[in-house]
Homo-oligomer: A and B are copies of this chain.
Amino acid sequence: MKYQSLIALSCILFICLGCKNESAQMNPVLEVESVQTDPLPSWNEGNSKEAILAFVTKTTTEDGPDFIPEADRIATFDNDGTLWSEQPMYFQLAFAIDQVNVMSTEHPEWKTQQPFKALLEGDMKTALAGGAEGLLPILAATHTGMTTDAFEKTVKDWMATATHPVTKKHYNEMIYQPMLELLHYLRAHGYKTFIVSGGGIDFMRPWIEQAYGIPPHQVVGSTGKMKYEMVDGKPVLMKLAELNFNNDEDGKPIGIHQFIGKRPVFAAGNSDGDYQMIEWTTSASGYPRFGMFVHHTDAEREYAYDRDSHIGKLNKDWMMPPKTIG
């Protein structure tokens, strides 16, 4: 039922990330032309690419039956695993772990306190054994009890210095070239691009404008409670150790409604946490809608994972029929 209604209203795509534009290389006669005119040069030729090009063309063709006015061209993108990598762990968790090490000199009590003790000893298995709930003390210690300004500076400093354990690249270099091209292509056609991520909004905003060309007010994410207070005669926003909003699963359509206020016509994700966002987007009537899933199938150049992964699990029934195309 669900599967039917979604397919009827949208194109569900599974794309292979990081694939080279091999067709252009195989046909040098076409190369010059494709460099100049292909808005998605890093995408393999195939159904996925064709579907995107066809959708954008028809929705921006004035007087056409599928035309969408510019004000309603809302495109939403998950971040972790959709725009940048999320392996071997969410990068925000890598940030938190790095911060525990930085902050440990001011917290001698962590030497005997779990999960900090295990983490400081490099025993990741024990540190992460408690699952999401077990991580809360780490997130609270590294993300709250400070002002928003102080946290922003910490994130910027970390992003400028920390590197990915496997690639040794800075984390904001771990973004997907095909998706950058897609964001740019949509914006060049009057689409407004938004991030709709389960990640922390305060963790994303300090670097996302530079990385993706998406301004902070077009970033929707999870938020904590905060308090407006005076410190030394100046107002600050103090980050409190209490979740305000979890922008994942059911939370994504709610976050979209509260932050964006319009239903997207284009949505892209990569995991079960994005299911409701894509369902919400593609089940609306009126305009044509486009739902897209990034399927991680390239273990050589990135990571291959879906239903068995502890991160970015992609296991919903309707997604699993063999529809890998392109």
Contact = CB atoms under 8 A, between A and B. Distances in A.
Given A5-B234, A235-B283, A237-B257, 10 more contacts: A1-B233, A71-B215, A148-B257, A194-B217, A215-B261, A219-B261, A223-B258, A226-B257, A234-B283, A235-B280
Copies in the complex: 2
B235 A276 contact: yes
B228 A276 contact: yes
Interface of A: 1, 5, 71, 148, 192, 194, 201, 205, 209, 215-219, 223, 226-228, 233-235, 237, 244, 250, 253-254, 257-262, 276, 279-280, 283
A226 B254 contact: yes
Contacts of A205: 261
B233 A5 contact: yes
A206 to B, nearest CB: 9
A279 B215 contact: no
B233 A253 contact: no
Q: Which 6 A-B pairs have the closest CB atoms?
A: A216-B261, A228-B250, A205-B261, A217-B260, A228-B253, A223-B258
A201 B235 contact: no
A205 B259 CA distance: 11
A217 B264 CA distance: 12
Nearest to A281: B235
A135 B215 CA distance: 38
Contact of A216 (B201, B262, B283): B262
B235 A253 contact: yes
A199 B73 CA distance: 26
A227 B276 CA distance: 12
A205 B261 CA distance: 7
Contacts of A250: 227-228
10 contacts: A71-B215, A201-B261, A217-B217, A217-B261, A219-B261, A226-B258, A228-B253, A235-B253, A237-B254, A244-B258
Contacts of A148: 257
A260 B220 CA distance: 10
Nearest to A206: B261
A181 B218 CA distance: 26
A220 to B, nearest CB: 9
Contacts of A244: 258
A158 to B, nearest CB: 18
A5 B232 CA distance: 12
A257 B202 CA distance: 9
A84 to B, nearest CB: 18
A85 B209 CA distance: 36
Contacts of A235: 253, 276, 279-280, 283
A280 B233 contact: no
A315 B244 CA distance: 31
A207 to B, nearest CB: 12
A221 to B, nearest CB: 9
